[in-house]
Structure 1
Amino acid sequence: MARRVAQSSVQWSALAERVPPAQKTNFHLFKAKSDGYLRRVMSNPAELPKIDWSFYKNSVPVAGMVDNFQKQYEALKIPFPSDTQTSQIEAQASKLKVEIAEFIKNSNNAITKHEQELAILGAMLSYSDMTMEEYYEAHPENALSPTDPQSFWPHREEDNINHKREEAEEPAH
């Protein structure tokens, strides 16, 4: 037989903390619908009403009909489905708790790393105040190196700074 649920197992206050402000109206509507359903279920009696078989035996003129119905009614057993999913759900929940804890740990590590990077960027000069050498010291992977050969537009060999021009010998007159 099914057990009677006395109260909701949902922790509404914990759930309300996680609802974004834009969804608060929908959350309150959902909670009201859930509470209404629980009130309707609780308004019904826990047990089915008892049938007064003696009243029907005195009222029905066909002999044996009420006895036959009573025997069939009492033999009727509607099985309540057995719970086969709770153990699987609890296993999934415990696995998810581990994954959530790992995600929170990784997220906190990333937040710490990004806060350190922000502190470094906050301590730097602004880019508009930096010289090319200071920019190279701060970001050597992105800056032009003052010691490497430079290439300028249109990037032809003869236009580069370090290009050695071969002077063509002019014939003597």
Structure 2
Amino acid sequence: MRKVLVIGLDGADPRLIETWSREGRLPNMEMIMREGVSGELMSTFPPTTIPAWPCFATGTTSAKNGVFGFWQTREEMMNIKGKLLWDIIGEAGGRVGVMNVPCTYPPRRVNGFMITGLMTPPREKVFTYPEELSRELSLKYGYKVGPLFREDLYDVPPRGPFDREAYFEEFMRSE
């Protein structure tokens, strides 16, 4: 199986990356773009963190994977429907390293390793698969889960299941 490296730059403007690469300010990015493949995210509009990463990971739209945005409960955002890229690769015998991808908490068993990303509670002791990697990263390297997660925003009682049809109807009435 071929080795593939996927780098996702959350919040990066592709026009700036291209300009700075041409100017020599990002030589490694320039080399990656020249010798590999690059492109602009087209799966979600606007291309916001949530739902973009679950759409990338599943190859599906929000309507199919169930993740629409930060206004959902933590449980809704973490319960991605569909097969994830790293699961498909693992089932085919490939090894994966998944690092800091949003909406990967809690860590899941993969054929390789996983370090969860955005939406991981900051005081969480286990944020990796295999589990022992969390301790090693924390003790040996001082690794901290990040970027910061406003846990207090999610410590409110769930407001019940999200009624997407009612939301859509209300949205259409407001136009």
User: Normalising TM by the smaller chain, what interval?
Assistant: under 0.3
Structure with more strand by fraction: 2
Structure 1 length-normalised TM: 0.18
Larger RCO: 1 or 2 (CA < 8 Å, sep 6+): 2
Report the TM-score, using the length of structure 2 for normalisation. Answer: 0.17
